């Protein structure tokens, strides 16, 4: 009985460990994202979202960004950059991050659309944009990759 408890504990720990490995590698600093994109010769996918209030943003995260299929496709093609604008006090970002996100929004999302996905070349030039779409992870990847 004791061995079964230990085995169950190891399985649970393993699940959490591997979920962490599969998580999308999100950048939150534009300069870091540009450096990575230039080193890898990848485009940048800049995502403007309201993670705790915007229903389409939450759906896009759940259906696309969090899917293993999208992550597997994107890892060798894109540097993922997130500009989050949460509203709940419990999710408040550090002031420095808020300032960076506002600066990105002023340049790339002046109309304040949410969700808003902007594909940039490694130097920061806009190649295309998208929003929430009911699509498979592969179809959404193909759309972003077509810009």
- Per-residue pLDDT tens digits for 40-96: 999 999 999 999 999 999 999 999 999 999 999 999 999 999 999 999 999 999 999
Report the chain's mean pLDDT, rounded to a whole number.
90
- On whether residue 104 sits in a domain, the answer given is yes
In the numeric block, which tokens belong to residue 57?
Answer: 């943003």
pLDDT-derived band at 24 (thresholds 50, 70, 90) equals: confident
How far CA 35 is from CA of 22, 31, 118, 130, in Å, comes to 23, 6, 17, 23
- On whether residue 141 sits in a domain, the answer given is yes
- Per-residue pLDDT tens digits for 105-134: 999 999 999 999 999 999 999 999 999 999
Residue 141 and residue 138: Cα distance in Å, rounded?
A: 5
CATH code: domain of residue 29: 3.40.30.10
- Mean predicted confidence (pLDDT) in 130-146: 98
- On whether residue 87 sits in a domain, the answer given is yes
Q: Domain total for the chain?
A: 1
- On whether residue 81 sits in a domain, the answer given is yes
Q: Which domain holds residue 76?
A: 24-145
- On whether residue 6 sits in a domain, the answer given is no
Predicted local distance difference test score (pLDDT) of residue 1: 55
Residue 123 and residue 106: Cα distance in Å, rounded?
A: 17
CA angle 90–92–94, rounded 5-degree value: 135
């Amino acid at each position: 009985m004791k061995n079964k408890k230990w085995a169950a504990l190891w399985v649970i720990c393993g699940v959490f460990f591997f979920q962490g490995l599969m998580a999308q590698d999100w950048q939150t600093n534009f300069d870091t994202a540009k450096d990575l994109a230039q080193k890898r010769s990848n485009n940048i996918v800049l995502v403007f979202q309201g993670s705790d209030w915007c229903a389409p943003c939450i759906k896009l995260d759940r259906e696309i960004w969090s899917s293993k299929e999208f992550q597997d496709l994107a890892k060798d093609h894109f540097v993922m950059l997130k500009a989050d604008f949460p509203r709940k006090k419990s999710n408040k970002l550090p002031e420095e991050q808020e300032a960076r996100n506002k600066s990105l929004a002023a340049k790339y999302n002046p109309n304040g659309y949410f969700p808003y996905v902007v594909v940039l070349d490694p130097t920061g030039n806009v190649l295309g944009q998208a929003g929430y779409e009911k699509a498979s992870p592969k179809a959404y990847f193909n759309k972003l990759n077509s810009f």
